């Protein structure tokens, strides 16, 4: 077999999809800057651009948005007054292009009824967990997400243990398999899953996959969805990337969901790529988590998946068809479970509100794991207040970063937290990717939402709240064992020279845009 000449291979590598898209975006930016700079040679036009940037900054100041986002944008616009205002409006004018917000709203209005809120579960939970009343009230009155009983939970402290269990469940699928992931990558993990999916398709199981186009862009070829369809697997790419300056590209599907026959569901931080099972070493040992639901609560994730599927295919689904056909054979005394999702296309930041409610209700301890720590002043104030009130607040972030600029910015928050009594740790064994919160042995959440602006406000996310389930003890145990592989951040570690302080201050201003 002849090898391709090096010049041809280099040419193909240069013009693969990722490089081509990057070149097109840089070309757009370059042409826009060149035109603006050329026009700005006329003093009256340059003054007009500056005035336009000032008016844009005032417009942003008066908008009902998060203060941190407004500060970041205003800072950049006024830092580059000749081009700042124009670039903002070029970028902003594409917001929710294609009516994504409207289409999703229509889907949710028609299908939220399928979540079917069981009133008895809510009443019993309120009576049994008095400290969680605010959380339960918030979810009942501001979201469509029910709280369930009759559901077993199984916690996984790494990708290897999750994968073996997942493969068993996939092999037992009788009717359908729904999978929705931010990242799918060719490798040992995905190939083992794909082999089972192909076998299930041959037996008549309805297999559907959604993956995020940007999330999987570095790991899958552009036509991979067609390849899966040729295998009999129904596949859709979420928000396909287009090389144009548009803010809709910020809205990614960061969710991780598997649903099997409406009876079993998985969620958590684990994507379908080899680093998540330590078959590919990128940043040391990959510390992550996931949770398996068996029982009534699995249906909540089925509805979430079908809503996004309906959005992508632009066709209504009969959700009733996918309800479990057999009763669940699980314990009825397994606590309360509440699956949830979060969307940037509405005015409700569910992930943020849940985190705040857990922080505010904490009485004895509050343990958090997150790969990124970039949040607004409200969240920082809540964490500091909990620590000052005597709550044992601990946060684990990674020592080895996957994104150096984000890690540098995360560290800018350490000082103010440590000064307030929050204990901050960095995981030294590798990369901490788990997104868990556990408090007082009674409440926990496992999901996909990081403690950063992108997850809290820009991405589609999901997770599950756990109230008095057996898995809460396992989540806590995992946390305490992970602490043995961490170093605690002391006050002296937060100090730096003037240059580092200045640089971190700038990065912190820009944190909402990272």
What is the DSSP annotation of 165-233?
Answer: HHHHHHHT-SSEEEEEES-B-TTHHHHHHHHHHHHHHHTT-EEEEEEETTTTTTTS-TTHHHHHHHTT-
b/e sequence 132-145, b meaning 16+ C-beta within 10 Å: beebbebbbeebbb
pLDDT of 3 above 50? no
Residue 115: partners with Cβ closer than 8 Å, 6 or more residues away: 144, 145, 146, 300, 303
Distance separating alpha carbons of residues 450 and 202, to the nearest angstrom = 38
Instruction: Note the pTM of the prediction, 2 decimals.
Output: 0.87
Output the pLDDT for position 19.
58
SS3 486: strand
The string of pLDDT tens digits covering residues 358-413 is: 999 999 999 999 999 999 889 999 999 999 999 999 999 999 988 888 888 888 89
How high does pLDDT run on average in the chain? 86
Distance separating alpha carbons of residues 460 and 406, to the nearest angstrom = 20
In three state form, how does the secondary structure of 125-152 look?
Answer: HHHHCHHHHHHHHHHHHHCCCCCECCEE
Within 13 Å and on the Cβ side, how many CA atoms surround 410?
Answer: 25
Distance separating alpha carbons of residues 118 and 140, to the nearest angstrom = 11
**Sheet strands side by side (includes 234-238):** 151-156, 290-295, 264-268, 257-260, 176-181, 206-212, 234-238
Query: Model confidence at 32, in pLDDT bands (50, 70, 90)?
Result: low
Please report, rounded to a whole number, the percentage of residues in the chain having pLDDT higher than 90: 54
List the single range of 16-20, 262-266, 434-438 with lowest mean pLDDT.
16-20
Instruction: For the chain, state the CA radius of gyration.
Output: 24
Query: Model confidence at 96, in pLDDT bands (50, 70, 90)?
Result: very low
pLDDT of 65 above 50? yes
DSSP state of 310: H
pLDDT of 243 above 70? no
Query: Model confidence at 153, in pLDDT bands (50, 70, 90)?
Result: very high
Q: Which residue has the higher pLDDT, 84 or 206?
A: 206
The string of pLDDT tens digits covering residues 483-494 is: 999 999 998 887
Output the pLDDT for position 33.
63
pLDDT (mean) for 192-202: 97
The string of pLDDT tens digits covering residues 253-298 is: 999 999 999 999 999 999 999 999 999 988 889 999 999 999 999 9
SS3 323: coil
SS3 377: helix
Whether residue 377 contacts residue 339, with contact meaning beta carbons closer than 8 Å, is answered with: no
Output the pLDDT for position 48.
76
User: Alpha carbon of 468 to those of 42, 128, 149, 217, 246: distances in Å?
Assistant: 68, 9, 11, 39, 44
pLDDT of 244 above 60? no
Distance separating alpha carbons of residues 101 and 95, to the nearest angstrom = 10
Helices (H), 314-375: 350-361
């Amino acid at each position: 077999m002849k090898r391709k000449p090096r010049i041809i291979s280099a040419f193909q590598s240069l013009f693969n999809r990722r490089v081509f898209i990057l070149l097109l975006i840089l070309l757009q930016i370059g042409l826009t800057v060149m035109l603006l700079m050329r026009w700005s040679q006329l003093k009256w036009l340059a003054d007009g651009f500056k005035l336009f940037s000032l008016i844009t900054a005032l417009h942003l100041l008066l908008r009902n948005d998060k203060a941190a986002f407004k500060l970041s944008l205003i800072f950049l616009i006024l830092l580059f007054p000749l081009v700042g205002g124009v670039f903002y409006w070029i970028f902003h004018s594409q917001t929710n292009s294609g009516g994504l917000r409207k289409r999703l709203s229509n889907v949710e209005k028609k299908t939220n009824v399928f979540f079917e809120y069981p009133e008895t579960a809510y009443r019993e939970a309120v009576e049994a967990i008095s400290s969680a009343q605010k959380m339960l009230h918030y979810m009942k009155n501001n979201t469509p997400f029910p709280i369930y009983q009759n559901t077993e939970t199984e916690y996984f402290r790494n990708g290897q243990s999750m994968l073996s269990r997942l493969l068993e469940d996939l092999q037992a699928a009788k009717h359908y398999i729904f999978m929705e992931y931010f990242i799918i990558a060719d490798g040992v993990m995905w190939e083992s899953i794909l082999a089972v999916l192909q076998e299930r398709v041959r037996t008549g199981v309805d297999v559907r996959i959604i993956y995020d186009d940007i999330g999987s862009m570095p790991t899958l070829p552009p036509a991979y969805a067609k390849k899966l369809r040729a295998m009999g697997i129904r596949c859709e790419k979420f928000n396909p990337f287009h090389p144009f300056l548009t803010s809709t590209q910020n809205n990614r599907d960061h969710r991780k969901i598997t649903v099997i026959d409406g009876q079993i569901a998985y969620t958590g931080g684990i994507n379908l790529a080899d680093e998540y099972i330590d078959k590919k070493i990128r940043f040391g040992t990959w510390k992550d988590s996931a949770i398996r639901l068996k029982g009534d609560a699995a249906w909540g994730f089925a509805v979430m998946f079908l809503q996004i599927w309906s959005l992508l295919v632009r066709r209504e689904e009969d959700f009733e068809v996918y309800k479990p056909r057999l009763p669940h054979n699980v314990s009825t005394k397994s606590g309360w479970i509440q699956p949830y999702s979060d969307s940037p296309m509405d005015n409700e930041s569910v992930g943020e509100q849940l985190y705040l409610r857990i922080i505010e209700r904490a009485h004895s301890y509050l343990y958090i794991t997150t790969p990124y720590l970039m949040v607004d002043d409200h969240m920082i104030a809540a964490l500091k207040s909990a620590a000052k009130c005597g709550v044992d607040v601990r946060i684990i972030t990674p020592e080895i970063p996957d994104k150096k600029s984000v890690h540098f910015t995360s560290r800018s928050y350490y000082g103010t937290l440590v000064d307030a009594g929050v204990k901050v740790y960095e995981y030294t064994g590798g990369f901490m990717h788990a997104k868990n919160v556990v408090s007082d042995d009674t409440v926990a959440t496992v999901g996909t939402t990081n403690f950063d602006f992108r997850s809290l406000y820009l991405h589609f996310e999901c997770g599950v709240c756990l109230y008095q389930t057996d898995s809460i003890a396992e989540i806590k145990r995992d946390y305490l064992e992970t602490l043995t592989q961490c170093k605690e951040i002391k006050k002296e570690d937060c100090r730096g020279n003037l240059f580092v302080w200045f640089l971190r201050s700038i990065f912190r201003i820009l944190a909402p845009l990272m």
